[in-house]
Structure 1
Amino acid sequence: MQDATIDKLHIFITMFVISFIMSIQGPIFTPYASMLGASSIMIGIMLSASQLTDLTGNLMVGPLVDKYGKIIFISIPIFISGLLYVAHGFIADYTSLLVLRAINGFALAFLMPAAFALISGYAKNSRQQGKNMAIVGILGVIADIIAPILGGKLGTTIGYANTYSIMGYALLVIAVYTVIFLRDRQLLSVKNKRAKATNLLTVFQNTQLQLVYLTGFAVMYIHGVINYEVPYLTVEKGYSTLRTGQLFGFEAVGTLASLSLFFLHRYDPINRMMFGLFWLCMSLAAFFNGLLDLPLSLFLMGFCFGLVMPAAGTAVTNAVPSTEHGKAFGVLSAVYSLGMIASSFLTAIIRQAVSPYFIAFLVGMMILTVIGFIKFSMPKTIRDSRY
């Protein structure tokens, strides 16, 4: 058992470092792309392109993880991504940035489903499953608090290109770490005997997973709007990258606050997802109506993200047997990518005519309505089960 705890610590360290490095680029990508000559629409295309390649990889990796194991699909993508980030530091035009970002999106697509499938093996029951997901979330949020501020500072002091190079070398180091220390374990499979998923089609047909995927799309659509709009303040209003990094920090603190409430894992994950999505939409509504300023709105939206994301991971592991976790998490990651694609592309087109926050509110509320209809149309014995 002690060995299992140590092995779990290694995957937690890996996820923290990955989150930290990825979060560094939050406040610097948009001004870097703009400096290379990209327009607002082109920046939206760049964000959408990486998410599109990410989505493609997500759908491919699920069956591969279930068949060949998880660690190989963690170590190799990190190594490739490290090389690509180093290459970011040597480009001279936005076309090269677009190509590198698209390839990197495909490489990283294999990472997250494999990592979450690996983490799912370190749980004895559903509640412990939720705690593991929450711990990963907390580590990611701590990274999100510190890294954007560091990224903004690095972008200001050493330049965007050098910052990307540092990120790349750090990823190469962590890739070596995963090869040496990561181990795959299955303490106790968390199964749902009703779920008999054998391929991607049956995963999509699982009603409980449909609720998760719809919620995931809505949340990531909203998250994509925030990721696009907040860094663009450096271009539109002359904010420094350090200031935009601080704004992302407000969102991260809110997420950390909700993830720290471990008692929430006693409650049904589907209900937690719906509750979080509802208040996420309300926070958006309060902001675009001028009832809240941006820092407080970001804090509340971050709090809601922290309610939804661990619940989604727990709901996935409860809905399918452990042998199907790769497929289920692969589809979930693909849905996340789809939400980011839709928000990045649509926001770039409509932002001059209508508030992207308002559209995000509409998307969230419409999907919440559909989720509520599906949930309350399910048989009561399934709807009320706690798995």
Structure 2
Amino acid sequence: MGTGKSKLILYFILFLIFVSIHMQFPVFTPLAVSLGAGSMLVALMLSVTSFVNLGGNLIAGSVIDRLGVRGFIVFPLFLLSISLFAHSFVTITIHLFILRVLNGFILAFLTPACMTMLASFAQNRLEQSKNMAMNTLMVTAAMTVAPVLGGWLGERYGADGAYYMISFTTFIAFLLAFYYLPSGKKTNGFGRKKSPLISLFTYPPLAPVFLTAFVMMYTQGTIMYELPFLSVESNVSKGAVGKMAGFIGLGTFFVLTFVFLHRISPKVRTIIGLLLMSISVCLMMFSGIVPPLKTFFLFGIASGMVFPAMMTLVTESIDEQNRGKAFAFLSAIFSVGTIISPFVSGLVRDYMSPYYIAWIVLMIVTTIIGLQFMTSKNAPGRPPHTTPTTKVAGF
């Protein structure tokens, strides 16, 4: 199968993966409560995926680089479909907790492997940017339709019926991966040496990427933490809260239609996107109790600019044999931002707006990244043990 067809299959697999993940949101908590879980246990089960995912990411990168990517897409998808199917048979909370831990560990391998294979399909910066933008489009589409579909299935067929469909969706992704994805290349052949994880963490061109990933997920986590309180404290309907979140997706869809943006340096797009994100959060902070829809739309535009640019910077900064580790560590940074933001928001929201903290963090990180981009050379040094072909475009 040609590269073009393989790439389209991978896009659809990514869509199905994120559909299966986000379809669980409306049905998981009611299922846990029906089994006797209290609010603290539900919160723990919801967060354990990120914690386990964080640890698994640090293991996944080196293994993916050494053994190739295809196996770490196919087998995790099969295991994930079984794990999700098992949700239909749980009768006690401890079993549900174990399944959440298992899901987090499986996803720690699956996500970086998919991103590593997607990066291998591009030959230049423009192709990389288009590939990552298309990936963002698939993820945004999944996050938009999956919760609605999951809620409908949960109401009509109950949690068991919903998880049947969720597991079936994942199994379809497994079949597509098994039959149609190309064999991933191993990257430990002659003349190719792998960098240790710590060298990637300290590699200067990746520092702005990791900072961007953290602040993006921190800000998004703050918004997702604050929105539900509107229906509790301000008599805003749940439908209106869902509409606000939906406008983030609409903003992302909107900016991804501007294909000419992929010709702009990813560093420029990252800075512009972070500045727009800062403006949107500032408007949320000063617009009263209920932020207007345009602020969420603007945040979606900023996210649609930052995410593809950030992923393109990874592929430009790291040679192929180390991309698995780079994407795995990036996923770990995502998890850190997602874990920290609700915790900080909960600590400060009785004294100040969590949006204010998110805005401060955004401005600090944007300033640091801007200074790093302006002072970086056109061809910064390579990480230890990489091949001489690695290049990073100048700002």
On whether the aligned pair clears a TM of 0.5, the verdict is yes
TM-score (norm 2): 0.85
- In structure 2, the residue corresponding to 1:89 is in which secondary structure? helix
| Range that drifts further, 95-104 or 58-67 | 95-104
Residue 362 of structure 2 is matched in structure 1 by 364
Aligned partner of 1:385 in structure 2 is: 393
- Let me know the Cα RMSD of the aligned residues: 3.1
Q: Which residue of 1 aligns with 2:224?
A: 227
Q: Which stretch shifts more, 374-383 or 129-138?
A: 374-383
Paired position in structure 2 for 1:319: 317
Q: Which residue is 2:131 aligned to?
A: 132
Gaps of 5+ in 1: 190-195
Structure 1, 283-292 or 375-384: larger mean CA deviation: 375-384
Distance 1:94 1:347 in 2: 28
Number of residue-to-residue matches in the alignment: 379
Q: Are the counterparts in 1 of residues 73 and 177 from structure 2 also a CA contact under 8 Å?
A: yes
Cross-structure match for 1:255: 252
- Cα pair distance change 1:364/1:35, threshold 3 Å: farther
1:59 and 2:58 aligned: yes
Deviates more, 1:287-296 or 1:44-53: 287-296
Deviations 1:13-59 (A, max 9, x none): 11111122222234444565566666665554434321111111111
Q: Structure 2 regions of 5+ residues with no counterpart? A: 188-192, 382-391
Task: State how far apart, in whole Å, the 1-side matches of 2:220 and 2:293 are.
Answer: 15
State how far apart, in whole Å, the 2-side matches of 1:234 and 1:160 are: 24
Write the deviation string for residues 66-92 of structure 1: whole angstroms up to 9, x where unpaired.
111111111222222222222333445
| Distance in 1, Cα, partners of 2:240 & 2:160 | 19
Q: 1:214: how far off?
A: 0.5
Judged with a 3 Å threshold, the aligned counterparts in structure 2 of structure 1 residues 32 and 363 are, in CA distance, closer, same or farther, namely farther
In structure 2, the CA distance between the partners of 1:122 and 1:234, relative to structure 1 (3 Å rule), is same
Q: Which residue of the partner structure matches residue 388 of structure 2? A: none
Relative to 1, partners in 2 of residues 1:8 and 1:219: Cα closer, same or farther, differing over 3 Å? Answer: same
Report what 1:177 is aligned to.
176
Query: Does the CA-based 8 Å contact 2:69-2:184 persist in structure 1?
Result: no
Q: Determine if contact 2:194/2:321 at 8 Å carries over to the other structure.
A: no
Superposition TM-score, scaled by structure 1 size: 0.86
8 A Cα contact 1:63 1:327, kept in partner: yes
The CA deviation string for residues 176-224 of structure 1, in whole angstroms up to 9 with x for no partner, is 22111111478xx9xxxxxx86121111121111100000000011122
Between structure 1 and structure 2, the one with the greater Rg is 2
- Over the matched positions of the two proteins, sequence identity in percent amounts to 34
Deviations along 1:313-366, one digit per CA (max 9) or x if unpaired, are 100000011111111111111111111111233334444554333322222222
Counterpart among 327, 331, 334 of residue 333 in structure 1: 331
Q: Secondary structure, in 3 states, of the residue corresponding to 2:2? A: helix
1:142 counterpart residue number: 141
Alpha-carbon contact 2:87-2:96 (below 8 Å) kept: yes
Contact 1:145 1:250 (C-alpha < 8 Å) held by counterparts? no
Q: Which residue of 2 aligns with 1:293?
A: 291
1:272–1:123: structure 2 CA closer, same or farther, 3 Å change rule? Answer: same
Name the CA distance, whole Å, in 1 between partners of 2:72 and 2:354.
35
Aligned partner (choices 208, 215, 225) of residue 218 of structure 1: 215
Q: Distance in 2 between matches of 1:316 and 1:285?
A: 29
